[in-house]
């Protein structure tokens, strides 16, 4: 049987101060990761509304990852602590509904962790690719 070469679509929300800068550093150091990852810049990971995550899945994303400063290092002192609770609750609920838990992730990447950013993205894309297309949380109206 031939393995279906599905190219996943990954939406990555990155906070401006740590993770977006970490992604820039990955670029500066020419650390490759799949082009499937598309980054959206937000001021802080706590700006990410669960509705944005669902929206991404609705529009055809196969995985959503949220990156922020390490706990304790938030530029706004406490934003990522709220992210941590919100996403823990949301991810657990998605899992409860039978959505594959590997499709969602929160990762803390500092501005100095270009290598971690690239490694995280490589790993996440690999896991999502293995799952194949997002069928359980798709909106057929939005499909090409």
- List binders of other proteins among 2-21 (CB under 8 A): 9, 11, 16, 20-21
Across 100-116, b (16+ Cβ under 10 Å) vs e yields beebbbbbbbbbebbeb
In sequence order, the 6+-apart residues with CB closer than 8 A to the CB of 144 are: 60
Sheet holding 104-108, edge to edge: 37-42, 10-15, 63-68, 104-108
Q: Is 56 in the site for other proteins (CB under 8 A)?
A: yes
Query: What are the beta bridge partners of residue 37?
Result: 10
Residue from 44, 67, 125, 128 that binds other proteins (CB under 8 A)? 44
Q: How far is the CB of 4 from other proteins (least distance, A)?
A: 19
Nearer to other proteins, 20 or 110 (CB): 20
Residue from 18, 109, 118, 128 that binds other proteins (CB under 8 A)? 118
Name which of residues 67 to 96 contact other proteins (CB under 8 A): 71-72, 75-79, 81-82, 84-96
């Amino acid at each position: 049987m031939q393995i279906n070469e599905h190219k996943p679509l990954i939406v990555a929300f990155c906070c401006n101060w740590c993770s977006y800068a970490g992604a820039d550093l990955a670029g500066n150091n020419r650390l490759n990761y799949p082009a499937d990852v598309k980054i959206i810049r937000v001021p802080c990971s706590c700006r990410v509304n669960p509705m944005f995550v669902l929206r991404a899945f609705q529009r055809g994303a196969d995985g959503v990852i949220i990156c922020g400063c390490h706990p304790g290092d938030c530029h706004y002192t406490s934003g990522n602590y709220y992210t941590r609770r919100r996403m823990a609750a949301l991810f657990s609920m998605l899992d409860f509904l039978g959505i594959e838990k590997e499709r969602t992730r929160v990762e803390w990447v500092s501005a100095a962790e270009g290598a971690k950013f690239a490694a995280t993205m490589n790993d996440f894309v690999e896991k999502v690719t293995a799952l194949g297309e997002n069928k359980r949380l798709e909106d057929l109206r939005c499909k090409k």
